[in-house]
Amino acid sequence: MSSAGAQANKFYEEVSAKREVWFAESRDGNALEFDVKDGKVSFPLWSSETRVQRIIKYNPELLDGFKPRKLSWDSFLSILVPILKDKRRMVGVNLSGKKITGFDMPVDSLIRQIESFN
């Protein structure tokens, strides 16, 4: 399994167990997003606060001023999922490293993966 595959699998396991997701938010309240291939935008999520802190630490030139924010799984489903779908966002899972790599997928695929771990 690739590193990105292992990170994604860990994301599914941890989110399924803890029932929470983490994202990064700037000082002015904007959530971190990345442009990805084919003109799409990805909203990255992590399975722990530590993972968000690590990505910020490894990428200070890009992520200075961003802080980890927690969202319950239920709030993610009821509040954030409709927004992500409306904006046609992909979701990145447990992006890691200096190059900020990982898997980006449709929101519905992410939900199915998490639910399959229950």
pLDDT of residue 93: 95
> For position 88, which CATH number holds?
3.40.1350.90
Q: What SS3 string covers 3-71?
A: HHHHHHHHHHHHHHHHCEEEEEECCCCCECCEECHHHCEEEEEECCHHHHHHHHHHCHHHHCCCEEEEE
Q: Which of 29, 23, 20 is nearest to 92 (CA)?
A: 23
pLDDT grade, residue 113 (50/70/90)?
A: very high
Q: Would the pTM count as exceeding 0.85?
A: yes
Count of domains forming the chain: 1
pLDDT tens digits for 25-78? 999 999 999 999 889 999 999 999 999 999 999 999 999 999 999 999 999 999
pLDDT at position 7 is: 85
| pLDDT tens, residue by residue, 15-25 | 999 999 999 99
Q: Which domain holds residue 14?
A: 3-116
